[in-house]
């Protein structure tokens, strides 16, 4: 069964460092998302991406965040200068077409900022 893959599974970084979280969505999917979940809290929307551009972003997704689809398969989330409060599980998700609203998640990257 096709799945969304994310790397790395764990990332430890120092405050102020840049991190790039990587995702490979399911191959025929067209809509891509990043979510985060702080331990013990709800899943929070960060950004959605379609047709090589951001379609929507939340208040959390400030200038420190950016997304890219550098080739036909990868979808990355970059945090330029990490803060302690960026520590969370980051989930990538994808879905196939506009009329199919089923969202498929990757297994997540646990980011720890020290």
**Which residues are at the interface with another protein (CB under 8 A)?**
31, 33, 35, 41-45, 48, 50, 55-56, 89, 91, 98, 101-108, 110
CB 96 within 8 A of CB 26: yes
| Least distance in angstroms from the C-beta of 101 to another protein | 5
| Least distance in angstroms from the C-beta of 81 to another protein | 26
Rounded Cα distance between 2 and 12, Å, is 28
Rounded Cα distance between 109 and 87, Å, is 10
CB 111 within 8 A of CB 35: no
Closer residue to another protein, CB minimum distance, 25 or 106: 106
Closer residue to another protein, CB minimum distance, 1 or 71: 1
């Amino acid at each position: 069964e096709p799945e969304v893959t994310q790397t790395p599974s764990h990332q430890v970084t120092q405050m102020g460092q840049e991190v790039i979280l990587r995702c490979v969505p399911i191959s025929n999917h067209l809509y891509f998302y990043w979510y985060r979940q702080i331990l013990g809290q709800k899943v929070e929307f960060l950004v959605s991406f379609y047709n090589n551009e951001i379609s929507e972003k939340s208040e959390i997704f400030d200038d420190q965040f950016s997304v890219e689809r550098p080739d036909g398969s990868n979808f990355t989330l970059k945090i330029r200068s990490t803060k302690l409060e960026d520590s969370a599980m980051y989930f990538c998700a994808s879905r196939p077409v506009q009329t199919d609203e089923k969202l498929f998640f990757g297994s997540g990257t646990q980011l720890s900022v020290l």
